[in-house]
Amino acid sequence: MRKLFGTDGIRGLANAYPVTPEVAYRLGRSAALLFKSKHRLPRVVVGRDTRLSGDMLEGALVAGVSSVGVHVLRAGVLPTPALAYLTKHYQADAGVVISASHNPFEDNGIKFFAPNGEKLSDQMEEKIEGLFFDTRSDKVRALRRDLGQVQDEAGAMEAYCQFALSSVPENLNLKNVHIVADCGHGATYLTTPRVLRRLGARVTVLHDQPDGRNINDQCGSTFPRAMQEAVTRLGADIGLAHDGDGDRVLLADETGRLVDGDRILGLCALHLQASRKLARQTVVATVMSNLGFERAMREAGIRLLRAPVGDRYVLEEMKRQGAMLGGEQSGHVIFREHHATGDGLITALQVLKVMKESGKPLAELKAFMKEVPQLLVNVPVRRRVDLSRLKAVRAAVERVEKALGQGGRVLVRASGTEAKVRIMLEGESQAEIETFAGQIAEAVRKSV
């Protein structure tokens, strides 16, 4: 069982264990030792988002990597999916991004990419932890000319922007499209406006003045209201809102109504199906995706498979099934033809491509499904909990499942990124699921 890594790397309060400079240094050493290749210039690409603690953690991690003789390419502030791409682009032995995604600024995190640009498997993270806790590895030190060098990679941002542009046809022209882009004061504040403007779009940018403390602060995909209101106020064609590290996006149609990951997946799947390009007639979502989305896909003749929460689990299922499209309700969408991880900018570009090719506005494209009432409740807890051992919680869930029958669903899980238990209910009555959610939440509170 992993001691440091959660569902998406290591994450927590910055400068408190395990997100400390000391841990970052040892992680840098451990990962570099694990991935260090035999060629002459082993190297790791490192990037970060805009958090105040990013410099501190980056410095420690870079020191750890270079201390064992591995070179470092510092890419600067870039979205997480950019680091995934650049790891492969620069033929690096690994990639590292320092970010806590949608969490508030006081949190931070560290996640790794394999040489192919994919997030690490559970097994690889366990190997890093093995080296991390094995004090014998402390004896490995590079000396004299064998020390790793640190280089700032000035072309990293442009390389990523060109990569994002390559995901759409060269003749895609957004000249008459007005886009509101909320960058959440995060890692996309330069890249997303630059790419959209190169395609000819008129772009109104919100929240692109990061100061280290304002990332995700009442803005971005966690708080999309400002983006929605700007779309309606300005009469824009579409709005998009990123999270802090840019691996997800939520949209707003031309009326300002929110378009989540389920609807993004569905409208893209239907467009691909119509052009006979939907691989295996299959879409991979997670256990969180709305029951209404599942029903709409079934009616269209598209198979929907569910994976555990976490885009790497979605990707694993996509690879097993030969699917090329998958993602999460949160707006974390993977177009495997273009990228090996969720990329909010590429996702937005694919939706814009569908709008241009179909000639339909987003409000019409998203109207393929009727959502089943869904409720998500987060219960704060003091520590990670094994829900399978909480008898009272299991009993409460079983009672609710019996009451809902075939018309609803219950999902209770411990968050892999925060000290919370997440309770999701679906059913035909909003009032009913609110009551049931309260009962399960109370059982959780009494049990932990």
Catalogue the active-site residues: 101
Tell how far CA 231 is from the center of its chain: 24
C-alpha to C-alpha distances, 296 to 150, 174, 253, 374, nearest whole angstrom: 51, 30, 20, 16
DSSP 6: B
Q: Is the peptide bond before 18 cis (omega within 30 degrees of 0)?
A: yes
Rg (CA), the chain: 22
Q: Which tokens belong to 386?
A: 């094994």
Terminal CA-CA length for the chain = 21
Burial class (CB in 10 A: 0-12, 13-18, 19+), 171: exposed
Rounded to an integer, what distance in angstroms lies between the CA atom of residue 362 and that of residue 382? 42
**Count of beta carbons in the 10 Å neighbourhood of residue 389:** 9
Rounded to an integer, what distance in angstroms lies between the CA atom of residue 391 and that of residue 379? 17
Q: Cα-Cα-Cα-Cα dihedral of 224, 225, 227, 228, to 10°?
A: 110
Q: Phi/psi at 309 (nearest 5 deg)?
A: -65, 135
Length of the chain: 448
Rounded to an integer, what distance in angstroms lies between the CA atom of residue 127 and that of residue 105? 29
Residue 434 backbone class (left: φ over 0; alpha: ψ -120 to 50; beta: rest): alpha
